[in-house]
């Protein structure tokens, strides 16, 4: 198995993690989390956001060698929260 992942796999990973971030944010905002689990759920969100940013960084590097890939803004539907 190759160490490199395909661009398609990378795009699906970004979209999947982005969806997980959104789901976790919705869960945290729902008010349904018991107080004793809140800190853990916030840490999970932080981990997911970090994973998303790392994937986006890899994607940006990939864009330099594969300019026919969609821009990250287009991939994320224009809802990119980069800093």
- Segment 38-44 long-range contacts (CB within 8 Å, at least 24 positions apart): none
Confidence of residue 82 (pLDDT cuts 50, 70, 90): very low
Is the CB of residue 24 less than 8 Å from the CB of residue 41? yes
Q: Sorting pLDDT into bands at 50, 70 and 90, what band is 8?
A: very high
Report yes or no: 18 and 76 within 8 Å, Cβ to Cβ. yes
User: To which residue do tokens 């990119």 refer?
Assistant: 80
Per residue in 32-76, pLDDT tens? 999 999 999 999 999 999 999 999 999 999 999 999 999 999 999
Q: Assess contact for 69 and 7: CB atoms under 8 A.
A: yes
In this prediction, residue 78 has a pLDDT band, given cuts at 50, 70 and 90, of: low
């Amino acid at each position: 198995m190759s160490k490199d992942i395909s661009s398609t796999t990378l795009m699906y990973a970004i979209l999947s993690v982005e969806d997980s971030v959104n789901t976790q944010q919705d869960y945290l905002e729902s008010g349904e989390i018991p107080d004793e689990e809140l800190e853990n759920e916030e840490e999970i969100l932080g981990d997911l956001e970090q994973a998303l940013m790392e994937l986006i960084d890899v994607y940006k590097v990939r864009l330099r060698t594969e300019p026919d890939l969609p821009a990250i803004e287009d991939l994320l539907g224009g809802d990119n929260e980069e800093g």
